[in-house]
Chain A
Amino acid sequence: MLNGIWLGMILIGFVFAAVNGRMNEFTAAVFDGAKSGVTVSFGLISVLVFWLGIMRIAEDADLLKKISRVLGPVVSFLFPDVPKGHPAIGYILSNMSANLLGLGNAATPMGIKAMQELQTLNPDKETATPAMCTLLALNTASITLIPATLIAIRLNYGSADPAAIVGTTLAATAVATLAAIAADRLCRRLTLLRRPPGPPPAIRAGTASATGSATLPHSSVKG
């Protein structure tokens, strides 16, 4: 599906650029995109280096194990196939708390670290496990630093009540997160059903769930 979307966007972009006579813009856009890809990655370096350092301290102080014990039930419900006490649990928890607190740039390194830990449980290193999909679902629907950024922008343009959006944002986020968890559960069930009984997850399941047409689902917004 990702392959299809990626190729589709480039092809559609090329066709439109040709029709609209925007070939120059098209070429410029290629280099712009490449440039921002590198810039964004470099922007991440400082954040990653710092937070992973802090997290290592937490790990060495057994903090992650402690947090895991308290919030364990929530995580074991969401991630049934990660063994209790596995390091991944601690990072998943840190990632979730950072998201909840709106520390978007702390959430990313924890999320990456959690992914790396989940990868150690993955028999097929190139295919995502259900646990990885759940972690992504939680993160894509999550609140980020943006409310703080947005409040600043609103203040900047003279809003009477810059924080007025906090409530609506929370409501929308809650709905999106619940939808993500529900959809993730459903997909997980479907892949389990498609698989012949055998060892637990991460056998290349029915590819029907991994491939699909490159149509953007926004068409479903229409009704």
Chain B
Amino acid sequence: MVTFIPLYAFSRKVPVYESFVEGAKDGFGTAIAIIPHLVGMLVAISVFRASGALDFLMGFVSPLVQSLGIPAEVLPLGLLRPLTGTGSLAYTTDLIRVHGPDSLIGMIASTIQGSTDTTLYVLTVYFGAVGIRNGRYALKVGLFSDVVGFIAAIAVCLLVFG
């Protein structure tokens, strides 16, 4: 992509360098516009985690899940994944380190991590960039697909590696 696009454009007599600079000008402003949105979101997430609220929630859910043959260790990912990309990646890395990459836990964690994107981050960045305040049902839809993806990831792994 990086080479094909400029080459093709050049063959069509586009002043590639001028075009590039013109487009690149938008990039900086967009990134700066996102800062307040991201700061607001990441503060809420990091506070929620550091206060122990996340662990408390997990304590509720894990006995239920254990009975289904699902390793409880992967549960926090279900909550972390939609909220924080780096946080959930760190958690996944830790699970792989402790249980081994080829363990069922390692497989499930990798699959969950790879199968959806960080909903809250995407929403914050995309809507923040254009100043949308009322996202209507976008958050609901995103979180719903996260739940479905989470369940699908576990189910597929139990089928294939279980």
Residues of chain A within 8 A of B112, CB atoms compared:
172
Shortest beta-carbon distance from B74 to chain A in Å: 12
- Is the pair B137, A187 in contact by a Cβ cutoff of 8 Å? yes
- One digit per residue, 1 when the CB lies within 8 angstroms of any chain A CB and 0 when it does not, for chain B 84-124 equals 01100100110011001110001100111111111100110
B47 in contact with A172 (CB, 8 Å): no
Contact with B123, one of A28, A140, A150, A165 (Cβ below 8 angstroms)? A140
Q: How far is the CA of A153 from the CA of B51 in the complex (A)?
A: 29
Given A29-B47, A61-B5: A41 touches B130 (CB 8 Å cut-off): no
Choose among B49, B143, B160 the residue that contacts A29 (Cβ–Cβ < 8 A).
Answer: B49
Task: Pick from B44, B100, B101, B145: contact of A141, CB below 8 A.
Answer: B145
Choice from A56, A169, A187, A205 contacting B115 with Cβ under 8 Å: A169
The reply to whether B140 and A54 contact each other, CB–CB distance below 8 Å, is: no
B52 at the interface (CB under 8 A from A): yes
**Stretch from A70-78, A79-87, A111-119 forming part of the interface with B:** A111-119
Chain B residue with Cβ nearest A188: B137
Q: Total A-B pairs in contact (CB under 8 Å)? A: 382
From known contacts A17-B50, A48-B30, infer whether A41 and B138 are also in contact, taking CB-CB under 8 Å. no
Given A25-B50, A50-B24: A177 touches B145 (CB 8 Å cut-off):
yes
Q: Is the interface of B mostly helix, strand, loop or mixed?
A: helix
* Complex A-B: 16 CB contacts under 8 Å: A9-B47, A13-B50, A16-B52, A25-B51, A41-B32, A47-B27, A53-B21, A57-B14, A59-B23, A127-B136, A128-B132, A135-B126, A175-B152, A179-B145, A183-B140, A187-B141
Q: Point out residues on A near B: beta carbons under 8 Å.
A: 1-2, 5-6, 9-10, 12-17, 20, 22, 25-26, 28-30, 32-34, 36-38, 40-42, 44-45, 47-63, 103-104, 106, 108-109, 111-113, 115-116, 118-119, 125-128, 130, 132-133, 135-137, 139-144, 146-147, 149-150, 153-154, 157-162, 164-165, 167-169, 171-173, 175-177, 179-180, 183-184, 187, 191, 204-205, 209-210, 212, 216-218, 220-223
